[in-house]
């Protein structure tokens, strides 16, 4: 794809060109999300929402991560690498846990329980990467910070600390309300119990609204 993967654009070590002028990630992220909003308005369901809620039987992607989200020249996201994807039934158990460490849902790691909510958890990790600019797993960091979800969890449980999660390359230049809503979506997706996580359609709708609001704000118009 023309612009590589989402990982190429949102992770700190891949964005810094050595002179302190790392490219900004939030514009591309918003445009990528806006592409999904446009798809929804055109009657098409984006990405995981289509796999989970339109495909019959549902498709569990099982390897959602930033390096598997590819971007075209308009920054519209495309899922790639369906090698681990699995058709329903929902609630199936996988005798062998597969996927990428740091993105796998706890019930899948513990017992091999595989549902569409497994993907929702992985999406929460992906969204947390986007918000923080950190990798899901980073062995170069101090031990307490190597696993992104474990490091972020105390802040995810306290809305007053959401701002601490923001990517430092944003330099505080973002709407506080939008950050809180994005982090809240990530927190819901990362619930320990699968049943407490939202459907992908609910998460996608919230993020599409945020993307449209950001686009409207940048053009000094008010979203409907």
Give the CATH number, domain containing residue 203: 1.10.510.10
User: Considering the entire predicted model, what is its pTM?
Assistant: 0.81
18 occurs within a structural domain: no
CA distance 108 to 22: 36
The number of distinct structural domains making up the chain is 1
Query: What is the maximum span of the chain, computed from C-alpha positions, in angstroms?
Result: 53
CA distance 3 to 14: 13
Residues in CB range of 106: below 8 A, 6 or more apart: 121, 192
128 occurs within a structural domain: yes
25 occurs within a structural domain: no
39 occurs within a structural domain: no
> Is 158 assigned a catalytic role?
no
- 13, 36, 63, 167: which is the annotated catalytic residue? 63
Domain, as residue range, for 110: 46-69+79-207
Q: How many residues does the chain have?
A: 224
27 occurs within a structural domain: no
Cα 185 → chain centroid: 9
- Phi and psi of 87, rounded to 5°? -75, 160
219 occurs within a structural domain: no
User: What confidence category does residue 175 fall into, taking pLDDT thresholds of 50, 70 and 90?
Assistant: confident
C-alpha to C-alpha distances, 116 to 108, 182, 198, nearest whole angstrom: 11, 21, 10
Residue among 117, 28, 122 nearest 68 (CA): 122
14 occurs within a structural domain: no
136 occurs within a structural domain: yes
**Model confidence pLDDT, tens digit, residues 48-88:** 898 998 888 889 999 999 999 999 888 888 888 888 888 87
């Amino acid at each position: 794809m023309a612009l590589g993967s989402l990982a190429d654009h949102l992770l700190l070590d891949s964005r810094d060109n050595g002179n302190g002028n790392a490219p900004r990630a939030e514009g591309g992220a918003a445009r990528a999300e806006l592409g999904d909003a446009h798809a929804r308005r055109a009657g098409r369901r984006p990405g995981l929402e289509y796999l989970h809620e339109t495909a019959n039987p549902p498709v569990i992607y099982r390897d959602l991560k930033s390096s598997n989200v590819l971007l075209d020249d308009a920054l519209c996201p495309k899922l790639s690498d369906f090698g681990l994807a699995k058709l329903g039934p929902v609630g199936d158990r996988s005798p062998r846990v597969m996927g990428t460490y740091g993105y796998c849902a706890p019930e899948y790691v513990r017992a091999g329980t595989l549902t569409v909510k497994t993907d929702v958890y992985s999406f929460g990790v992906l969204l947390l990467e986007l918000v923080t600019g950190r990798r899901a797993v980073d062995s170069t960091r101090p031990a307490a910070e190597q696993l992104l979800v474990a490091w972020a969890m105390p802040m995810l449980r306290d809305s007053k600390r959401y701002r601490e999660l923001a990517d430092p390359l944003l330099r505080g230049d973002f709407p506080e309300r939008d950050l809180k809503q994005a982090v809240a979506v990530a927190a819901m997706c990362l619930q320990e119990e699968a049943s407490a996580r939202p459907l992908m359609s609910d998460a996608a709708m919230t993020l599409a609204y945020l993307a449209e609001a950001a686009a409207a704000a940048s053009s000094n118009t008010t979203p409907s």
